[in-house]
Amino acid sequence: MSRVIFPLIVVLVLIAIPILGVKVAGLHLLFGVVIPYVAFAIFILGFIWRVIYWAQSPVPFRIPTTAGQQRSLPWFKQSRWDNPFTTGEVIVRMALEVLCFRSLFRNKRIDFRQLPDGTPILRYSPTKWLWAFALLFHWSFLIILIRHIRLATVPIPGPIEFLDHLDAIFEIGLPQLYLTDLTILAGLLFLLCRRLFIPQLRYISLPADYFPLFLIISIVCSGMLMRYFLRTDIVGVKELVMGLVSFHPHAPVKDIGTIFFVHIFLVSCLFAYFPFSKLMHMGGVFLSPTRNLANNSRYKRHINPWNYPVKTHPYEEYEEEFREFMKQAGIPVEKE
Amino acid sequence: MAAKTPKPQELLQIDHRPPREWWMDRKVVFKPGTWCYAGRPENVKALDLPFPREWSPDEEDWKLPDNWKEIVLETFRDRLHKFRSLKVFMDICVRCGACADKCHYFIGSGDPKNMPVLRAELLRSIYRGEFTKAGQILGRLAGGRKLTYDVIKEWFYYFFQCTECRRCSVFCPYGIDTAEITMIARELLLEIGININWIMGPVANSFRTGNHMGLLPHTFKDNIEFLCEDIYDITGIKIEPTFNRKGAEILFITPSADVFAEPGIYTCMGYLLLFHYLDLDYTWSTYASEGGNFGLFTSHEMMKRLNAKMYAEAKRLGVKWILGGECGHMWRVIHQYMNTLNGPADFLEVPVSPITGTRFEHAKATKMIHILEFISDLIYHDKLNLDPSRNDHLVVTHHDSCNPVRAMGFIQEPRHVIKSVCNNFYEMPENTIYAETFCCGSGAGLNTDEFMEMRMRGGLPRANAVDYVHKKYGVNRMTAICAIDRAVLPTLMNYWVPGVSISGVCELVGNALVMPGEKPRDIDLRQEPLVRPTAEMPSEDESDV
């Protein structure tokens, strides 16, 4: 249980810190400027460091997982996206993987039962829940992130404005309700609930699996509180953010609202945590050798940079040991 | 001796719900039937591998070297440095659980550490606990733990309960490949003298004699000549294959089990008939007399040491290209590793079929093609006189072997050939074939008798799919293009689905191929009558469903 409680407590503490820091200690500059800068720097440098760390190790062998027909003879139709042969086909495979979660789409559930006479029955049925909600969560997150650009630009670029309108297309309430606010919450709650309530999932889950969920849920909630309920000074927020992105930061206005500091602090935590966590699957998926390589190793030689000579058992030694047997059996030999 | 294998009904008491105690708290219990015997010191010594000694996994003391911990951590660091796959797979798993119920061992045993995600976490937890700051400081809260003696035992138990079949990798959103993790974990264990004899034995044999069975050159030749005598009895055709012949156009290499053991020998008779029919200018080699490569299950280095024989022999004999028989992991090695490890094969030519003139462009670098690619081309160009009705006594299904499918994409080739040589072919349910095929449960060097309980558990998903077509269509023969399959599936079928026999695809080709000058064929290559036995119709089996 501590695997759930511990990360929950950490997130609660993280929420308390800016409240105390801003309300009690009045550290507006620290929470509004310094911490966001530091967190963002950690994110960028950490991300680059992690990718370089991965890239420092070579890919010695060409080991794609082939999930469809290979390219061999012309009368067999190659599964180009599941078994790519060219770089172009690999790019499509990767795009489908990254944008549509193609592998997750394949997910099947097992159904194991026994007939009254004891005969075992194993059946597999497609299950799309994880795929659907994972997709919902990730796309919502991306759209929300892009939408936030409006706080950091003057004038707001057309596409961002358009996305913003699209997201609030139902024009419910004032300020208008963003669809992605609901969908990201739905995605997050689904992902959390399956971890909590599916026994196998709970068994494999680590604190590091719950922590990002709690953290992002808190971020979403603080954002929604700020927009729909507690109403912050949006002009003050925009001024602050503009200052940050133009590298002319200034101390935030005092009455900007504590909830804003909670939000930006939690976001800072997420950014700073990102490069050192499983969230790096975002970068790692591009480097996965079972997905990002073409299955053409018989067509083109793949080079292993550390391929070293090994001790083999050469033919000469073999013949030396078995020459008499070979001669008697009429098998040709090198030395008579 | 090996433990008595439980009856199917006992074995079916499978609970997929995890136990109360968390996995990091649970110690491995070495129950007979679920682990393999340790490598014999003489085999380990013959290969110059570290720490040959007498030891047994079920004993308390594994007689590890004093500095085992340093060796393991040092090797772990080295492999992280050498394999980007390992680094990335250690870092990016989100434990979404999509892989959990994809492993045949988990399905058949319910043991949570057979979920691919936990199998990998066995290694990842040490990676975090020993190599990352968070894991060193926070320990379990950061998902880390220290490397202990018990962890080594756990690694041994579970990394020799993985057949490196890659099924989980198909479903993983990041393509995390447990086969890769298991291969490297086994390398870590190998460095402190932990290995199993069912792998060490064949590897030592293969290194010295050229094949897993340890057949000496004259015996290897004798065995094939015995098969030729059987062929003569069945067909009246006299075949005289050549061995180690310089100047042949093609070198043919197949798993030695095809030469030696039932039912592989019937597949081998298929090869021999076909080559004779085509009057192919080819030779066998007694030196490179093994297609399989248990080095793959030992270490990348050992894979290279054994695989080196193929190109070396092709060069010595001066052949133009290499033709490979039906084998699973052999083809993973050839397709994904051989040219990288032991190439470039610039002394060979791009494979060209001497009969059809087809240039096998897709194999132009490795210069080795699969016998079914070769036969499919012959059939496509109508070069074979086939009588599929000579397989009418068989109702056939096809088992996609893990490696050819998931490490190559070899799906339609066997089907094209099978459908051309027999009239009754039925697919198993769709989630159990093609890229989602289930392992035989005995791959990656685990096809040994003392491991029987786990083999039967791991083979359950495959067997259950066979059971479906057996009852529905009366399937009585399953083809498999893998020598391990041919060795282990008969046992699996006897256990779960009696009444289904196993063969390679080329056995069916051998049955159907109308040889010029043959005598009337009334028996198949197994010397069984060519009439469809009515007793094997499905009615009986279905009566109680």
pLDDT score recorded for residue B539:
46
pLDDT score recorded for residue B2:
54
How far is CA A230 from each of CA A175, A179, A225, B220, B518, rounded to the nearest angstrom?
12, 19, 6, 84, 92
Q: Can you tell me whether residue A120 is helix, strand or coil?
A: strand
Residue A197 maps to a domain: yes
ipTM of the complex: 0.95
CB within 8 Å: B16 and A112: yes
Q: Which residues of A touch B335 (CB under 8 A)?
A: 297-298
- Percent of the residues in chain B that have a pLDDT greater than 90, as a whole number: 96
Quickly state the pLDDT bin for A252 (edges 50, 70, 90). Answer: confident
Residue A333 maps to a domain: no
* A13: Cβ contacts below 8 Å, ≥ 6 apart: none
| A-B contacts at Cβ under 8 angstroms | 319
- Average pLDDT for residues B503-512, to the nearest whole number? 98
Q: Does B359 touch chain A (CB under 8 A)?
A: no
CB within 8 Å: A65 and B464: no
Contact B418, B396 (CB under 8 A): yes
Residue A336 maps to a domain: no
Q: Which residues of A touch B174 (CB under 8 A)?
A: 281, 284-285, 288, 291
Tokens 């058992």 correspond to what residue?
A313
**Structural domain count of chain A:** 1
pLDDT tens per residue across span A58-92: 999 999 999 999 999 999 999 999 999 999 999 99
Residue A221 has which token pair?
Answer: 């909630």
Q: Which residues of B touch A53 (CB under 8 A)?
A: 87
CB within 8 Å: B363 and A298: yes
pLDDT score recorded for residue A1:
63
The CATH code of the domain that includes A140 is 1.20.950.20
pLDDT tens per residue across span A211-236: 999 999 999 999 999 999 987 888 89
Q: Does B84 touch chain A (CB under 8 A)?
A: yes
pLDDT tens per residue across span A143-193: 999 999 999 998 999 999 999 999 998 888 888 899 999 999 999 999 999
- Percent of the residues in chain B that have a pLDDT greater than 70, as a whole number: 97
pLDDT tens per residue across span B274-323: 999 999 999 999 999 999 999 999 999 999 999 999 999 999 999 999 99
Domain interval for residue A53: 2-328
* pTM summary value: 0.95
Residue A47 has which token pair?
Answer: 């991300």
CB within 8 Å: B218 and A114: no
Residue A335 maps to a domain: no
How far is CA A205 from each of CA A199, B433, B460, rounded to the nearest angstrom?
10, 31, 28
* B483: Cβ contacts below 8 Å, ≥ 6 apart: B254, B255, B257, B258, B264, B291, B292, B326, B327, B328, B330
Q: Which residues of B touch A278 (CB under 8 A)?
A: 91-95
Residue B101 has which token pair?
Answer: 């119920």
